[in-house]
């Protein structure tokens, strides 16, 4: 009597090749957008990734059989991203009321819709909490990448991204992704000691050390090559400090998504890019590093929040 044998998944080598190919393709796209200096290209890609990741999140929630209001979450996400993008493309500051209005809208709408359903103890709040979490942890946080592009005032026409804004975004992405890459490469090669096995069995302390090293390699390397374009970083002291801060938050962001996926019993958020996974897998770390970098730069330059 024969028994069915489980189909083996792709080998580590195949996964590595796919991940490398997707990463190179993505960096080619980012480079093309970077060289174009077109605001619509920068903001379009940021908004596309934010909304794709939010859609993946709500699909995971629904697939897990959890209550939620995905239509509300997606509608508020679209309006929030579009209104911010329009202001930035016109060369205007982001409206001071936009963040508060978006948080109010998603919360009030969820409670309003919940009124149609009977009260079932704490479960009644799950749909509201999961919907608000989906908006706050993905589009709300990731759109700080858009704010970063226009953080430094530059004498350029509306709709055009200045050199400093483009390089700040490039620096953020390089440090964040080199952190991810360093953790993956080092952990795959020499990882032995599990970091947080109940959240992510593949994460190791050796990988964490590699993440810190690679973040400094990217951060200090780019600053050495383009000191004038990255002058807003404020010198090597801030570059090193911010590099370590972003590396730590990149790891936390990656683990935060692992918490979400494990809680919802989801293996991957989607299949946006081969070898990497969904859009949420792609931007989870940036959702934590982009706000931190904006706040850090505002603090050292004493600019209004």
Q: CB–CB of 257/268 below 8 Å? A: no
Q: What is the DSSP letter of 233?
A: G
Helices 12-36, 39-63: inter-axial angle, 10-degree rounding: 140
Q: What is the pLDDT of residue 72?
A: 97
Q: What is the pLDDT of residues 133-172, one digit of tens each?
A: 999 999 999 999 999 999 998 989 988 999 999 999 999 9
Residue 189 reports pLDDT greater than 70: yes
Is the pTM of the predicted complex or chain greater than 0.85?
yes
Q: What is the pLDDT of residue 92?
A: 92
**CB-CB neighbours of 186 under 10 Å:** 21
Tell me how far apart the alpha carbons of residues 247 and 41 are, in angstroms, rounded to a whole number: 27
Q: Which residue has the higher pLDDT, 184 or 119?
A: 119
Q: What is the pLDDT of residues 230-250, one digit of tens each?
A: 999 999 999 999 999 999 999
Q: What is the pLDDT of residue 245?
A: 96
Tell me how far apart the alpha carbons of residues 42 and 46 are, in angstroms, rounded to a whole number: 6
Tell me how far apart the alpha carbons of residues 5 and 8 are, in angstroms, rounded to a whole number: 9
Q: What is the pLDDT of residue 11?
A: 63
Q: Which helix (H) or strand (E) holds 195?
A: strand 194-196
Q: DSSP characters for 38-101?
A: BHHHHHHHHHHHHHHHHHHHHHHHHHTT----HHHHHHHHHHHHHHHHHHHHTT-PPPTTHHHH
Tokens of 77: 């996400």
Q: What is the pLDDT of residue 57?
A: 96
Residues belonging to the chain: 305
Q: What is the pLDDT of residues 13-43, one digit of tens each?
A: 676 677 777 778 877 888 899 999 999 999 9
Give the mean pLDDT of 115-119: 90
Tell me how far apart the alpha carbons of residues 100 and 34 are, in angstroms, rounded to a whole number: 31
Q: What is the pLDDT of residue 3?
A: 41
Residue 287 reports pLDDT greater than 90: yes
Q: How many helices (H) and strands (E) does the chain have?
A: 12, 2
Q: CB–CB of 166/149 below 8 Å? A: yes
Residue 6 reports pLDDT greater than 50: no
**CB-CB neighbours of 10 under 10 Å:** 12
């Amino acid at each position: 009597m024969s028994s069915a044998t489980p189909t083996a998944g792709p080998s580590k080598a195949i996964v590595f090749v796919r991940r490398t190919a997707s990463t190179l393709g993505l960096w080619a796209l980012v480079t093309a957008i970077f060289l174009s200096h077109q605001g619509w290209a920068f903001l379009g890609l940021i908004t596309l990734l934010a909304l794709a990741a939010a859609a993946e999140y709500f699909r995971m929630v629904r697939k897990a059989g959890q209550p939620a209001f995905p239509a509300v979450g997606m509608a508020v996400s679209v309006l929030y991203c579009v209104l911010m993008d329009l202001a930035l493309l016109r060369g205007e500051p982001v409206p001071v009321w936009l963040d508060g209005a978006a948080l109010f809208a998603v919360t009030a709408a969820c409670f309003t819709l919940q009124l149609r359903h009977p009260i079932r103890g704490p479960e009644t709040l799950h749909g509201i909490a999961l919907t608000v979490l989906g908006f706050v942890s993905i589009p709300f946080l990731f759109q700080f990448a858009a704010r970063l592009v226009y953080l430094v005032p530059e004498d350029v026409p509306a709709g055009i991204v200045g050199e400093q804004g483009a390089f700040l975004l490039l620096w953020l992405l390089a440090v964040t992704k080199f952190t991810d890459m360093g953790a993956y490469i080092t952990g795959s090669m020499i990882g032995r000691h599990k970091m947080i096995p109940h959240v992510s069995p593949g994460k190791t302390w050796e990988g964490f050390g590699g993440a810190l090293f690679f973040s400094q390699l990217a951060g200090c390397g780019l600053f050495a090559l383009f000191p004038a374009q990255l002058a807003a970083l404020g010198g090597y002291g801030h570059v090193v400090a911010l590099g370590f801060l972003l590396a730590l938050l990149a790891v936390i962001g990656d683990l935060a998504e692992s918490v979400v996926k494990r809680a919802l019993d989801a293996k991957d958020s989607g299949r946006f890019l081969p070898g990497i996974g969904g859009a949420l897998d792609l931007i989870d770390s940036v959702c934590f590093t982009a706000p931190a970098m904006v706040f850090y730069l505002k603090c050292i330059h004493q600019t209004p929040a």
